Amino acid sequence: MATDSSNGNGHHQTTTTKTPPSPSPLRFSKFFQSNMRILVTGGAGFIGSHLVDRLMENEKNEVIVADNYFTGSKDNLKKWIGHPRFELIRHDVTEPLLIEVDQIYHLACPASPIFYKYNPVKTIKTNVIGTLNMLGLAKRVGARILLTSTSEVYGDPLVHPQPESYWGNVNPIGVRSCYDEGKRVAETLMFDYHRQHGIEIRIARIFNTYGPRMNIDDGRVVSNFIAQALRGESLTVQSPGTQTRSFCYVSDLVDGLIRLMEGPNTGPINLGNPGEFTMIELAETVKELINPDVEIKMVENTPDDPKQRKPDITKAKELLGWEPKVKLRDGLPLMEENFRLRLGVDKKK
Ligand SMILES: NC(=O)c1ccc[n+]([C@@H]2O[C@H](COP(=O)([O-])OP(=O)(O)OC[C@H]3O[C@@H](n4cnc5c(N)ncnc54)[C@H](O)[C@@H]3O)[C@@H](O)[C@H]2O)c1
Ligand SMILES: O=c1ccn([C@@H]2O[C@H](COP(=O)(O)OP(=O)(O)O[C@H]3OC[C@@H](O)[C@H](O)[C@H]3O)[C@@H](O)[C@H]2O)c(=O)[nH]1
């Protein structure tokens, strides 16, 4: 039975008391009792591979990664390949997947604007058909499923900072729509399966996250600036440069995802670091910390670039007991170290 309650903002949040489908027999089987089988879609990517590292630390977890390697790589998972509790499947989530699992972290989707705009039809298929397939899997085996949604569901926000109750300001026909509208539909599907079929769902709205293992030529701003600073190239600030973002270090983010999955709240819950910076401030910080000799140059921006973004994390603090610990000035050097190794650039003595 589903019940509606107002959240005090005039919006209605729906909770359900419908019993979930019978879980996989594995959950109660004697042999597997001590193990939790966890599927991570997109686990060969940036956030996914850090999540896998954390999940593998628990000896009771068996981790299965399904990835089509569009933006991810086996390299990110090389320390786990061959491990008895780990399995890697080349799989595209737009196709059904028939396996038995207890939990699904559904991350599969290109996240950098240059990659999600590269083949927009594929991006929206990944978000819609991919999420439908993973919900179908969750329904069949009674698994709990967590979707990594995004701050992009708020579009170019007119409310600042953004609480979860804000419905957003999204262009439905723009070049970013395959991603932001795609994630909005994915959230809708999650709640419809929850209300209609009693599936246990969790939704994280992730704000800009950075850290080691981001693709060097990923196109996202932190990876661009660090790679440019290390190569001695000008830092490309897209105009006007006064647009803001709030950057969360990946270890903090992974901690939030696991707390959300393990707790009782469906979300959506914002996960991000409220420290807000303009792109000019970010470029100046990277220049100061990594290479004071590089120049900062202004380049043309792309359409529909959000002008401001900062998470309201009241809900994450209250419901998950979570808040980020790593400040931007502490996280950037950790990422620099990883980029130096991969680019083969030594630190000047
Ligand atoms: N990093 C961020 O700042 C951020 C912010 C908000 C939301 N997110 C979300 O978090 C998730 C992970 O992002 P990321 O930064 O690690 O990106 P990423 O591009 O590094 O990882 C995405 C992974 O998904 C895989 N993938 C893409 N399409 C697939 C498909 N059809 N089938 C199977 N695998 C597929 C890629 O190969 C890659 O391994 C995404 O869902 C993204 O939307 C990320
Ligand atoms: O070289 C660059 C790249 C980007 N930028 C600017 O930096 C800001 C951030 O751009 P990014 O491409 O890193 O990321 P965006 O915030 O636009 O989108 C991100 O949002 C959250 C997630 O869902 C995704 O990881 C991604 O879509 C934008 O204002 C962009 O114009 C630069 O100034 N220079």
Q: State yes or no: pLDDT of 134 exceeds 50.
A: yes
> In this structure, which residue's CA is closest to atom 25 in ligand 2?
111
Is 297 within the bounds of a domain?
no
Residue to probe by mutation, ligand 2, list 46, 178, 208, most atoms within 8 Å of CB:
208
Q: State yes or no: pLDDT of 218 exceeds 70.
A: yes
Is 231 within the bounds of a domain?
no
Q: Judge whether 179 counts as a catalytic residue.
A: yes
What is the domain-level CATH number for residue 88? 3.40.50.720
Domain that holds residue 265: 14-207+249-271
Confidence of residue 347 (pLDDT cuts 50, 70, 90): confident
Q: Which listed ligand is nearest to 119 at the C-alpha?
A: 1
Going from the Cα of 109 to the center of ligand 1, the distance in angstroms, rounded, reads 4
pLDDT (0 to 100) of residue 18: 56
Look at the pTM and tell me if it is higher than 0.80: yes
Going from the Cα of 108 to the center of ligand 1, the distance in angstroms, rounded, reads 5
d(CA 273, CA 206): 10
Q: Cα(first)–Cα(last) distance of the chain, in Å?
A: 66
Q: State yes or no: pLDDT of 21 exceeds 80.
A: no
222 lines ligand 1 (CB under 6 A): no
Is 347 within the bounds of a domain?
no
From the CA of 209, give the closest atom in ligand 2: 25
Going from the Cα of 280 to the center of ligand 1, the distance in angstroms, rounded, reads 26
Is 203 within the bounds of a domain?
yes
Going from the Cα of 59 to the center of ligand 2, the distance in angstroms, rounded, reads 37
Is 49 within the bounds of a domain?
yes
Confidence of residue 9 (pLDDT cuts 50, 70, 90): very low
Q: Look up residue 150 and give its two tokens.
A: 């995004």
The ipTM, to two decimals, is 0.98
Q: Which residues lie below 8 Å from residue 79, measured CB to CB, with a gap of 6+? A: 53
Confidence of residue 26 (pLDDT cuts 50, 70, 90): low
Into how many domains does the chain fold? 1
Using a pLDDT cut of 70, give the percent of the chain over it.
Answer: 90
> In this structure, which residue's CA is closest to atom 34 in ligand 1?
67
Q: Tell me what the mean pLDDT of segment 35-40 comes to.
A: 92
Is 161 within the bounds of a domain?
yes
Q: Which listed ligand is nearest to 94 at the C-alpha?
A: 1
d(CA 301, CA 96): 38
Is 276 within the bounds of a domain?
no
Q: In terms of pLDDT, which residue wins out, 13 or 67?
A: 67
Q: Which residue has 């998950």 as its token pair?
A: 320
Options 105, 116, 179, 210, the catalytic residue:
179
Q: In terms of pLDDT, which residue wins out, 4 or 70?
A: 70
pLDDT (0 to 100) of residue 35: 78
Is 215 within the bounds of a domain?
no
